[in-house]
Amino acid sequence: MKFNDVTRGMGLEEHGIINANLIYWTPPTSVLYEQIIKRGEGLVSHLGAIAVKTGHYTGRAANEKFIVDEPTSRENVAWGKVNRPFDPERFDGLYNRMLAYMHGKDLFVQDCFAGASREHRLPIRVITERAWHSLFARNMFVSATPEELENHRPGFTVIDMPSFHAIPALDGTNSETFIIVNFARRLIIIGGTSYAGEIKKSIFTILNYLLPIEKRILSMHCSANVGPNGDTTVFFGLSGTGKTTLSADPNRSLVGDDEHGWDDNGIFNFEGGCYAKIINLSREAEPEIYETTRKFGTILENVAIDTRSRKIDLNDDSFTENTRASYPLTHIPNIVPTGCAGHPTNIIMLTCDAYGVLPPIARLSKEQAMYHFLSGYTARVAGTEAGVKEPSATFSTCFGGPFMALQPTVYGELLKEKIDRHNVTCWLVNTGWSGGPYGVGSRMRIAYSRALVNAALDGNLATGPFVKDPVFGLDIPTACPGVPAEVLNPRNTWSDKADYDEAAAKLVGMFRENFVKYAAHVTPEVATVL
């Protein structure tokens, strides 16, 4: 039987799912709250957000993700450490056992869309065994209207069963946990992990594959906002670099906080919600995001909660550094309701520099922008991946390497083409360390990063003087309102200049070593940026 049946489209039997018990079909938030409480999946916190725990996995299980190696996608996928091949027959065997596991189970279904653009959106279906995962999907993706639900046919389906585990010796997985994408069957299966971010990032992987190939649309791991004059800004960056924080600006309208496409009309959000890191979140520094933690419909992942008063402690990292809030975009007061905006005027590339040698902001040439986009230098921040306990330097292609299914230069060429066509100004912003590396220096103040970004977007930085950094070749501004002048040049913040020079030279060497794999696919001007 179906509860709250509002769709007459494709049924679960077409996925091979039969003999399920209750099916909660695209239920509203209130119904999901009731089921979360009834099933003991979470607690209602003070002022209404729902608090849940994800268990063993409090971040992505990066080593457990696979793509089925089948003929329709084999030649397009960039196979390697990120995109690991999976045998089609073993996929079928694992999936058949998963179907058997669902016999007699209550299931939750969300029919929705990935993509705010009506022209390019992908209809998706998310099937889960947990009510709170269904609420997560409802928050994170674009809702379908009742009329759209009548004929909703998913272009891709996610089946998420955290309590179902693989058998590595039988299935060819690395552990009992798995996230497997099958492009031929338009299907993603997830098991052995309750971390809801796997649902979101699996759909992002799909869009990163489909849109560049089928429609020449650049898919981007970025946030975006729009200024009062209609100017659009894109913020590239991995989790923990400040995409959500810096794009949630009370003076600018938020398009989205994490994933976007760039087509011939401008940019559009892939999602209908936000998934913000909230450890040490404060009302003073991030008022818009802070308020979402106190609203009905928000999911608080792994946030400490007093079981008597039901008050939460956003500073408590006893479960994980990667505490998260999932909430619909409408929880933010100043948004672009359509999820679409014009072509960017500025692009901000965010990095969390664990070495503390990059400037807090620098203007990039087109060649430098291409170089830093392909390099994707940052630090993996504690908690965003299983096993990462402290920041460590890494290079993540296109600032989203774990989710990029195609060759990196596919995305790089699309970005270059669009920067050229729309005359976009590009900036590199370091939200990482200053005055020394991690453990010696200190993390860049949010207030400084905000002031620098605001000055870049309103044109103040562009009209002021710049100096050329002799190590990285970057143009560094010499002054910015609200930021001490000595902070702008990273070498000035180190007490031992020789230590800075050594650390900077080491990072340059790392950049060059990493870029070797791209050198033959870019122009000489890009290849020799560093």
Tell me the catalytic residues: 60, 201, 221, 239, 243-244, 258, 324
Alpha carbon distance 336, 220 (integer Å) = 18
Cα separation of 414 and 466, whole Å?
Answer: 29
Copy the structure tokens of residue 479: 């002054």
Whether residue 467 contacts residue 456, with contact meaning beta carbons closer than 8 Å, is answered with no
Going by C-beta distance under 8 Å and a sequence separation of 6 or more, which residues neighbour residue 181?
A: 65, 66, 67, 68, 187, 188, 202, 205, 206, 405
Report the distance separating Cα 441 and Cα 90, nearest Å.
49
Q: Is the dihedral of CA 428, 430, 436, 437 positive or negative?
A: negative
CA distance 198 to 59: 9
Residue 61 tokens read as 């299980």
Whole-number Cα distances in Å, 108 to 20, 26, 368? 11, 7, 47
Cα–Cα dist 527/412, whole Å: 13
Which residues neighbour 398 within 8 Å (Cβ) at sequence distance 6 or greater? 220, 221, 236, 373, 374, 376, 404, 408, 411, 412
Q: Which amino acid is at 529?
A: V
d(CA 217, CA 209): 10
Helix H segments across 73-130?
88-101
Contact 244, 258 (CB under 8 A): yes
Task: Give the type of residue at 316.
Answer: D
DSSP string for 356-374: S-S-SEEEE-HHHHHHHHH
C-alpha to C-alpha distance for 226 and 457, rounded to whole angstroms: 10
